[in-house]
A and B are shown apart, each in its own frame.
Chain A
Amino acid sequence: MSEVEAIADLFPISDGRQTATAKAPSAAAAVAVTAARTPHALLVEAVRRGDQIAFGRLYELYGPMVHGILLARVPWIEVDDLVQDVFLHAFKRLHTLRDDNAFGGWLAMITRNRAIDYHRRSREMQELSPDLAQAASRAVDAEASEAIALIRNLPEAYRETLILRFVEGMTGPEIAERTGLTPASVRVNLHRGMKLLREKMGVKEET
């Protein structure tokens, strides 16, 4: 809620609503449309007007989601650079976004496409040298690396949601809000994904 409050401070719409309602019905209707927008959508609107600070705020808010989606798909060592790529691409292509309220889903789609593009390109490039691959795996804790590997073996919808939950520390409602998925879908993905993960972890411990 602190984020929402902070953005509400940046874009005070409640005072304006009262004033506009008293002035004219048409202005009240316009404010009602504005009020229907989420605080994040107001940030998107500010970015459209050329406010780069607002985009920085969106980066803070949606960075974990982009990071999590990428981590579910590409090697850990590549994720940070790809996060930058995704946000740069989003910044350049923001004019193609029709509904500012759908920024999260739009950004998630860009991120998934970027991951697909990474794999397509990496097939064309040489394999990572063994030394570099070892260095990258050493940089990550062994237990974390094993857990990530287990999650990555899950179906796509489950691994993305679980990584957002465990790695990025987002709650179910936050995941739903950022990705544009329905809360029910997120809840189901979390529940079923965790069930599968427990099974895999149990099998691993037994062996």
Chain B
Amino acid sequence: MSDDYLWDRSGESDPEIERLESVLGGLRHQPRPLELPVARPRPKLFHGLAAAAAVMMIVAGGLWLASRPSIDDAENPPRLVIARPVPYLLSELKEPKPSIAPVIKGTESGARATLAGSTQAGVLRRPRRTNEERESANILRVARRGAPSQSDQELMREGEKARDQLMLGLRFASSQLNRVQREIQINKESGPAS
């Protein structure tokens, strides 16, 4: 028997296929009105805010970078200025700085040779510094770099202002973004409008 009628209803009709068509045709798709979500305008506010925040960040970042004091400034040679009196700092300045190189037990006398005993066999560790040592090292590092001059201090103040403005701008942008996200979430939860 030819399958043409089954394929495209051409040729000789097949009674069994015709019967199936008539019986099952009652279940045919009855299109209902399609309920599409109402097209809401895209949140242009969101894009605007994002762009504004980006511009603000770039401008504020540029200002902050420009206001930073230059370390390599030839007119401001490094000067040693101690910001506040730190007793252990003074002693560190007077005494030679202890080496932090690993020490093998028995090769050096004194306090430096003690750490090797606390390490596991065969493992040499850098000696741990106390908080006081760490703080004094930081102050020394700043002092070696050179204290800021008057103009440097002004620049630093401007930089701090710019940083504060940047933080304020970021906070504002963040709050606006959160608000927009909440609105989008609410719109999504409200579902498609009929």
The interface of chain A, by Cβ under 8 A from chain B, is: 50, 52, 55-56, 59-60, 63-64, 66-68, 71, 76, 80, 83-84, 87-88, 91-92, 140-141, 143-144, 147-148, 163, 165-169, 171-173, 187, 190-191, 194, 198, 201
Contacts and interface: CB of A to CB of B under 8 A. Distances in A.
Interface in B112-141: none
Contact of A168 (B9, B16, B29): B29
Interface residues of B, number: 25
Contacts of A84: 32, 34-35
B26 A56 contact: no
A56 B34 contact: yes
B24 A68 contact: no
A169 B34 CA distance: 22
B3 A191 contact: yes
B24 A166 contact: yes
B32 A71 contact: no
13 contacts: A64-B29, A76-B27, A84-B34, A88-B35, A91-B36, A147-B20, A166-B24, A171-B9, A172-B7, A191-B3, A194-B3, A194-B6, A198-B16
B18 to A, nearest CB: 10
Contacts of B31: 59-60, 63
Given A64-B28, A187-B7, 6 more contacts: A56-B34, A64-B29, A84-B34, A87-B34, A147-B20, A172-B8
A71 to B, nearest CB: 7
Nearest to A67: B29
Contact of A148 (B16, B24, B28, B29): B24
Contacts of A141: 23, 26
Contacts of B34: 55-56, 59, 84, 87-88
Contact of A166 (B7, B25, B29, B37): B25
Nearest to B8: A171
A47 to B, nearest CB: 10
A113 B48 CA distance: 38
A167 B28 contact: yes
Contacts of B20: 147, 166
B60 to A, nearest CB: 35
